Amino acid sequence: MKYVSTRGLRDLGGFSDVLLMGLAPDGGLAMPERIPTFGQDELESLRGLEYAELAHAIVRPFIDDIPEDDLRRMLRATYHPDVFHSTEITPLKRLGDSNLHLLELSNGPSLAFKDIAMQFLGQVFEYVLERRDQHLNILGATSGDTGSAAEYAMLGKTRVNVFMLSPHGRMSAFQQAQMFSINEPNIFNITVQGVFDDCQDLVKEVNADADFKARHAIGAVNSINWARVLAQAVYYFKAYFALKLPAGQTVDFCVPSGNFGNVFAGYLAKRMGLPVGQLVVASNENDVLHEFFSTGVYHVRRAAQVAQTSSPSMDIGKASNFERYLYLVAGADGVQTRAWWEQVGGSKPVDLRDSGHWDAVRASGFVGGRSSHADRLDTIRRADQQFGRLIDPHTADGLLIGERCARAGVPMVCLETALPAKFEDTVKEAVNRTPPRPQRFEGIEEQPRYFTAMDNDAAALKAFIAEKLGKAVENVS
């Protein structure tokens, strides 16, 4: 399997190449040159497989440059009950006698869905770097959960350093403590004056400096990394089989969405042949994606326009993975995708309403919805009272919009994003009690914190990276 860029550059190499690459040299995102599909008989043959074996069946067509036995070993080490505290890895729970189901994705080391893919990245990074005798310096941006998931996955990885940017003061107290309490020689936390989009833009600006990127071996773990999206597609298949439906029956999914990586993984699963009907995008007050799927206009928000909300991991005004979606909507036309994304970069709206591409958007099955602070408080309260289930505010956004978009006779699977302990202030406001947390996180907010505060300045970021790596700092501006 060869990979290409969403902006037209061909032959980026194989899976291992794009794994270490992050952004493509032309600034685009890696995509497979084709998407393998499962026929109905092939799909049915996957029923009953344990998670690691299912993952192997799903990802193997995209990863043909790693020996099969090695890939299977890494997947078994990743998707193990000792890591995810469940033999099912991603248990599916029906909510009462409703047609709503909750896909539990937060049983991993950092208590968020990002662990599902990030634990695999930790394994495969180590494997590829060891065989190439290379080192990698990961530069990432997080609105909350990616950072801790990445850092927990890279602990003890001697060939990987992590430089993680986060928006200063915009994560929950638990999220901040979870990241900043890590004091390891290969982990560097950096808070940026601004919002998540500023952090994300800094990552892209550093990646755009080809000389700096090459000299300092800069890679990525954000969902711009194809391996993240690919690994997340697996749990859509797992949820479908857990429903034990007749072959071919359609299932809807609702996904709390910020950077569009999680729900794009669902679209990938659909393109691979999984019988997915609706893919419901749940937004908070930062409703760029909801606006697009409602109106056909994608209009990014500037940093000053991004609201600070009680579901902070979705406080994003420009969704990076949306570029992958537009690429597929355009029929894998990199020239068209580049033109659209240049509009986005110039803060100009992309309007597909009067183009032939709008039909492709409508046919893709995406719909959207928007939630507010009052909505999520009410949803957390109702889920607790009706189903005996305590959920975090992002999952509440998804459950609310999932309820609104549910169709008679079609199961609606709502994706859990994090345990409520990560956002205890909002949960406590809703139900008037503090959510429980795993014992290993007791008192984490009182632990010492290790991070560096920085202005929104790419030159300063480059200098910091060069200094920490012991490299010369000349020409970093």
Phi, psi angle pair for 163, to nearest 5°: -115, 105
pLDDT of residue 345: 78
pLDDT of residue 474: 39
pLDDT of residue 449: 92
pLDDT of residue 73: 98
Q: Who's near 22: CB < 8 A, 6+ residues apart?
A: 139, 207, 213, 218, 219, 220, 224, 225
pLDDT of residue 197: 87
Query: Domain residue spans in the chain?
Result: 92-109+244-431
The CATH class for the domain spanning 92-109+244-431 reads: alpha beta
Q: Are 63 and 43 in contact (CB under 8 A)?
A: no
Q: Are 306 and 195 in contact (CB under 8 A)?
A: yes
253 is written with which tokens?
């999914």
Characterize 354-382 residue by residue with b for buried, 16 or more Cβ atoms within 10 angstroms of its Cβ, and e for exposed.
eeebeeebeebbbbbbbbbbebbbebbbb
Q: Are 165 and 199 in contact (CB under 8 A)?
A: yes
Is 244 one of the annotated active-site residues of the chain? no
From the list 2, 93, 114, 428, the catalytic residue is: 114
Tens of pLDDT along the chain (477 residues) come to 999 999 999 999 999 999 998 889 999 999 999 999 999 999 999 999 999 999 999 999 999 999 999 999 999 999 999 999 999 999 999 999 999 999 999 999 999 999 999 999 999 999 999 999 999 999 999 877 788 888 999 998 999 999 999 999 888 888 899 999 999 999 999 999 999 889 989 998 998 898 999 999 998 887 889 999 999 999 999 999 999 999 999 999 999 998 899 999 999 999 999 999 999 999 999 999 999 999 999 999 988 899 999 998 899 998 989 999 999 999 999 999 999 999 887 778 999 998 889 999 999 999 999 999 999 999 999 999 999 999 999 999 999 999 999 999 999 999 999 999 999 999 999 999 999 998 888 988 899 999 999 999 999 999 999 999 985 333 333
Give the number of other Cβ atoms within 10 Å of residue 199's Cβ.
26
Give the number of other Cβ atoms within 10 Å of residue 104's Cβ.
20
pLDDT of residue 269: 98
**Dist. CA 429–CA 97, nearest whole Å:** 27
pLDDT of residue 344: 85
